Chain A
């Protein structure tokens, strides 16, 4: 009995110690490196532009789950909703030669990509939907992306727990052919819970990278001055991996 208690105490101590190590210590450094190993390994195994699988219409989920913010519920958003997003603008700025301000009509007039892809949430569930919109690369080319730019930051109209949502990707994912600014889901304008009127699709990464209620795209050289420096809302607050390919 005594031995078992000692073992239990040892076990509890180990787990508590492990938790401490994970927060500071060398394990935290290793964990950050493991994220880089995964990114490097995954990109080494496939082509940089390897496409996520695309599905048939028959695979489309009957409804598409909304997660995180399902209703931004701000005065700004309510007013935009009331006029059917007629005056919604998407700005493209930061390290670009020619900053843009695009209306929804401008975005619909650009060359479009339609793709039926699977959305994988970090929590574990998946949903399949058909997305339509222009490729991010089209917008970056139009705005004449500066060669100092290393990351593309997405700004959003929703606030989660009082803070603005934002996300970022590197240029490999920004220029990926399936990285689009979606304004339609399953042939209809985006529903509110899925990010109306505009959201990102970053098909080789988990759901929290796919910024919804998109208002601005910003090219930056470093993520240090963005938010708390880790490149995204969840990365800054809960410690989620910035590279969400796994």
Chain B
């Protein structure tokens, strides 16, 4: 419960139009980026730490080959996968930026996604997890409960921007313009490893997110995210 969050007016949409638009644009672009990314991974399925690396003995991870049904296109083509990846990177990055600016202006982030220090106490988090395991998804006075705000916050403010930054850090053209980019990740190959790990982190979020939607009335949730209506 948070006293500072004002109650939302009656009849306001559950999700704002910008949130709904971004949610689906983001879902589509992240899906294309993930699947074309798996195709790109197949071109050199080893990961390294540091600035450089190419030899098996330097690798920290050997990635299995991803099958055609999981990749875009559905056969191995580094060139075409890169075309998809590079086009949808624009859609992904621009839509995230616009969503962030609008959500700062209309206070969506402040009202719905901020967490308080006391909510991060292990006891409080444990209680929230136990409530979720009992399928009690009470929100308190705010739109989302603590675990939701923490998860959405982690995805929107950490993981998605990290995908963009590590992606740009791998580009030799960006490297000349913004050399600090690969330095903050301790080298291009480290950035590539983080890009890969973070992509699978987002996949794990997707699984959890879809599971929670299925457990909390999927039809109503979908209606809310498409039409904006409060689920009955």
Binding site for B on A (CB under 8 A): 12, 15-16, 18-19, 22-23, 27, 30-31, 34-35, 37-39, 42-43, 45-47, 50-53, 55, 59, 61, 63, 65, 118, 120-128, 203-206, 234, 238-241, 243-246
- Which chain A residues lie closer than 8 Å to B54 at the CB level? 61, 65, 121, 125-127
- Which chain A residues lie closer than 8 Å to B35 at the CB level? 15
- Which chain B residues lie closer than 8 Å to A22 at the CB level? 73, 80, 83-84
Binding site for A on B (CB under 8 A): 32, 35, 40-41, 43-44, 46, 48, 51-55, 69, 72-74, 77-80, 82-84, 86-87, 90, 170-179, 182, 188-189, 192
Quick one: given A124-B43, A238-B77, A246-B86, are A18 and B172 in contact (CB under 8 Å)?
no
- Which chain A residues lie closer than 8 Å to B80 at the CB level? 19, 22-23, 239
- Per the bound structure, the CA–CA distance linking A184 and B44 in Å amounts to 27
Name B's interface SS.
helix
Check B82–A122 contact: CB distance below 8 A: yes
Check B173–A241 contact: CB distance below 8 A: no
- Per the bound structure, the CA–CA distance linking A206 and B27 in Å amounts to 30
Q: Which of B74, B77, B86, B174 contacts A16 (CB 8 A)?
A: B74
Check A241–B83 contact: CB distance below 8 A: yes
Check A204–B86 contact: CB distance below 8 A: no
| Among B77, B82, B178, B188, residue most surrounded by chain A Cβ atoms (within 10 Å) | B82
Q: Which of A42, A118, A244 contacts B52 (CB 8 A)?
A: A118
Check A122–B43 contact: CB distance below 8 A: yes
* In the complex, residue of chain B having the shortest beta-carbon distance to the beta carbon of A47: B177
- Per the bound structure, the CA–CA distance linking A23 and B80 in Å amounts to 9
Give 17 CB contacts A-B under 8 Å.
A15-B69, A22-B84, A31-B84, A37-B90, A52-B175, A53-B182, A61-B54, A125-B46, A126-B51, A126-B54, A128-B51, A128-B52, A205-B173, A206-B172, A239-B79, A239-B80, A245-B174
- Chain A nearest CB: distance from B193 CB in Å? 11
- Per the bound structure, the CA–CA distance linking A178 and B69 in Å amounts to 42
- Which chain B residues lie closer than 8 Å to A120 at the CB level? 170, 172, 188
| Among A27, A34, A205, A243, residue most surrounded by chain B Cβ atoms (within 10 Å) | A34
Check A204–B176 contact: CB distance below 8 A: yes
Check A50–B73 contact: CB distance below 8 A: no
Q: Which of B74, B83, B170, B174 contacts A31 (CB 8 A)?
A: B83
- Chain A nearest CB: distance from B219 CB in Å? 13
Check A46–B177 contact: CB distance below 8 A: yes
Q: Which of A12, A30, A63, A246 contacts B171 (CB 8 A)?
A: A246
Check B72–A34 contact: CB distance below 8 A: no
Check A118–B84 contact: CB distance below 8 A: no
Check B86–A31 contact: CB distance below 8 A: yes
- Per the bound structure, the CA–CA distance linking A204 and B175 in Å amounts to 8
* In the complex, residue of chain A having the shortest beta-carbon distance to the beta carbon of B180: A53
Q: Which of B51, B79, B83 contacts A234 (CB 8 A)?
A: B79
